């Protein structure tokens, strides 16, 4: 079996070495020394500030909306993981979908202004597959209409655009550190705020809104993470460069083997670095995609229709809407296996199976 993804696991003895300290201290959660160390090291590694290590990427999105006092309409993308939309609804806000760009698969910044109403308070955009949105145009629109900007950067760990971290853009950026991500802490997330006061608010919110042992200053939530997750994050941080190098090599192998076929890839931001988080391909029809899937499955190879279906017409708690580009792309995009333990031989097998499929 070749799965679509597999978590990276460091040498067990290295992880156990940090757990020995956890047993000695008996400090398991509530932002222990390992969690605080991870925050500090991630800030340095990513060259960002005002960073919080939280429970997961979904909590990060919910905290971001709450910290910015967003209560009305939020312009967002229908081409993303469900958490992007559900977080908006969970916080009592109204998602307003805007179609995506056919080339980069991110929200089409050129269509955002047409969706703005007097009730619009924020833009929540996803850097799809880690590919940066048009951050400059989105910020111009936000400034013009006095809107907050939140980025769902779940896939974008380590990406830089215009020479600085992708997490530096917007009022708040969030990231997922889930086990399936290229860098993970088993379960976890990051929330990064541009403004120091917003960061202080988020920090209080993460711990129930406590202002002291017997006082509260914010409506809070339990957004803290454990020492066990922090330990995995700390160890894995030592392997990020190695993981990146391997994923880059695998991606280049896919590119070479699929060269000349009629499969296409999303166009990456021209001023951004790549983190090789996913390997998406776009086929020319849903029928062709189905044939590819069937043939891969016959050979015990998993691929994932990510993201499918469109959030605009598949979420039961929202009215169904149609968006020409999103509806088309979501039916034709497929993510191929990509993870640290994947071998070049397996990439070759995957590509040969795909190339043999007749449309």
Q: What is the CATH number of the domain that holds 221?
A: 3.40.640.10
Residues 227, 320: one domain? no
Residues 64, 180: one domain? yes
Q: Specify if 5 maps to a domain.
A: no
User: Residue 291: its pLDDT value, please?
Assistant: 97
Residues 233, 246: one domain? no
**What's the rounded Cα separation, in Å, for the pair 162 and 261?**
32
Ranges of the chain whose pLDDT falls below 70: none
User: Residue 212: its pLDDT value, please?
Assistant: 82
User: Residue 348: its pLDDT value, please?
Assistant: 98
Give pTM, 2 decimals.
0.97
Residues 260, 202: one domain? no
Tokens of 104: 């980069």
Residues 288, 187: one domain? no
User: Residue 143: its pLDDT value, please?
Assistant: 98
332: how many CB neighbours lie within 10 A of its CB?
Answer: 19
Residues 123, 216: one domain? yes
Domain with 335 in it: what CATH number? 3.90.1150.10
Q: Choose one of 237, 265, 296: the last residue of a domain.
A: 237
Q: Specify if 339 maps to a domain.
A: yes
126: Cα within 13 Å, side-chain hemisphere: 29
Q: Specify if 6 maps to a domain.
A: no
**What's the rounded Cα separation, in Å, for the pair 158 and 273?**
8
Tokens of 208: 């129930």
**What's the rounded Cα separation, in Å, for the pair 177 and 235?**
13
Residues 201, 217: one domain? yes
User: Residue 261: its pLDDT value, please?
Assistant: 86
**What's the rounded Cα separation, in Å, for the pair 282 and 241?**
28
Q: Choose one of 215, 237, 259: the last residue of a domain.
A: 237
Q: Specify if 169 maps to a domain.
A: yes
278: how many CB neighbours lie within 10 A of its CB?
Answer: 21
> Residue 288: phi, psi to the nearest 5?
-65, -45
Tokens of 336: 């191929």
Tokens of 27: 């400090």
Q: Specify if 280 maps to a domain.
A: yes
H helices present in the chain, as ranges:
12-25, 33-46, 57-67, 82-90, 135-145, 196-206, 227-237, 240-258, 286-298, 324-332, 344-356
Which of 136, 132, 131, 177 is CA-nearest to residue 154? 177
What confidence tens digit (pLDDT) does each residue in 173-222 have? 999 999 999 999 999 999 999 999 999 999 999 999 998 888 999 999 99
Tokens of 184: 């993970």
| Secondary structure letter of residue 19 according to DSSP | H
Q: Specify if 1 maps to a domain.
A: no
**What's the rounded Cα separation, in Å, for the pair 293 and 316?**
27
Residues 232, 249: one domain? no
> Could you give the C-alpha distances from 307 to 9, 180, 217, 280, 328, in angstroms and in order?
26, 15, 39, 10, 11
Helix (H) or strand (E) holding 95: strand 94-97
Tokens of 59: 């909590």
**What's the rounded Cα separation, in Å, for the pair 189 and 22?**
21
Residues 75, 183: one domain? yes
> Could you give the C-alpha distances from 244 to 152, 226, 248, 275, in angstroms and in order?
21, 26, 6, 7
**What's the rounded Cα separation, in Å, for the pair 76 and 124?**
5
CB 187, CB 56: distance < 8 Å: yes
Residues 173, 37: one domain? yes
Number of domains composing the chain: 2
For residue 249, the enclosing domain spans 240-356
Q: DSSP string of 292-331?
A: HHHHHHHTTB--B-TT-S-GGGT-TTS-----HHHHHHHH
**What's the rounded Cα separation, in Å, for the pair 351 and 359?**
15
Q: Specify if 187 maps to a domain.
A: yes
Q: Choose one of 218, 237, 256: the last residue of a domain.
A: 237
Q: Specify if 2 maps to a domain.
A: no
Residues 253, 201: one domain? no
Residues 231, 244: one domain? no
With a CB cutoff of 8 Å and minimum separation 6, the contacts of 216 are 208, 209, 210
CB 294, CB 262: distance < 8 Å: no
């Amino acid at each position: 079996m070749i799965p679509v993804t597999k978590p990276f696991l460091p040498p067990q003895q290295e992880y156990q070495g940090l757990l020995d300290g956890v047993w000695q201290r008996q400090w398991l959660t509530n932002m222990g020394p390992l969690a605080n160390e991870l925050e500090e090291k991630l800030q340095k590694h990513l060259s960002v500030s005002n960073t919080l290590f939280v429970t997961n990427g979904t909590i990060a999105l919910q905290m971001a909306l709450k910290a910015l006092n967003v209560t009305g309409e939020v312009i967002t993308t229908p081409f993303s993981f469900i958490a992007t939309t559900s977080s908006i609804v969970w916080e009592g806000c109204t998602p307003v979908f805007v179609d995506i760009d056919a080339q980069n698969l991110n929200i089409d910044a050129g269509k955002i202004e047409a969706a703005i109403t007097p009730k619009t308070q924020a833009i929540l955009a996803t850097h799809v597959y880690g590919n940066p949105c048009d951050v400059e145009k989105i910020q111009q629109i936000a400034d013009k209409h006095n809107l907050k900007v939140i980025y769902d950067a779940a896939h974008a760990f380590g990406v830089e655009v215009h020479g600085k971290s992708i997490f530096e853009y917007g009022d708040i950026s969030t990231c997922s550190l889930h086990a399936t991500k290229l860098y993970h802490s088993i379960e976890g997330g990051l929330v990064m705020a541009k403004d120091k006061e917003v960061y202080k608010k988020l920090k209080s919110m993460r711990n129930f809104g406590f202002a002291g042992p017997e006082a509260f200053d914010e409506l809070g939530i339990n957004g803290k993470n454990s020492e066990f997750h922090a330990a995995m994050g700390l160890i894995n941080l030592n392997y990020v460069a190695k993981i990146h190098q391997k994923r880059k090599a695998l991606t280049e192998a896919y590119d070479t083997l699929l060269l000349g076929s009629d499969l296409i890839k999303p166009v990456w931001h021209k001023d951004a670095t790549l983190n090789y988080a996913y390997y998406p391909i776009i086929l020319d029809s849903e029928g062709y995609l189905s044939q590819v899937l069937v043939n891969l499955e016959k050979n015990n190879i998993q691929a994932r229709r990510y993201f499918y279906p469109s959030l605009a017409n598949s979420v039961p708690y929202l009215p169904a809407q149609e968006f020409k580009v999103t509806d088309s792309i979501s039916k034709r995009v497929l993510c191929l296996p990509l993870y640290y333990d994947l071998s070049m031989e397996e990439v070759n097998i995957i590509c040969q199976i795909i190339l043999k499929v007749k449309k």
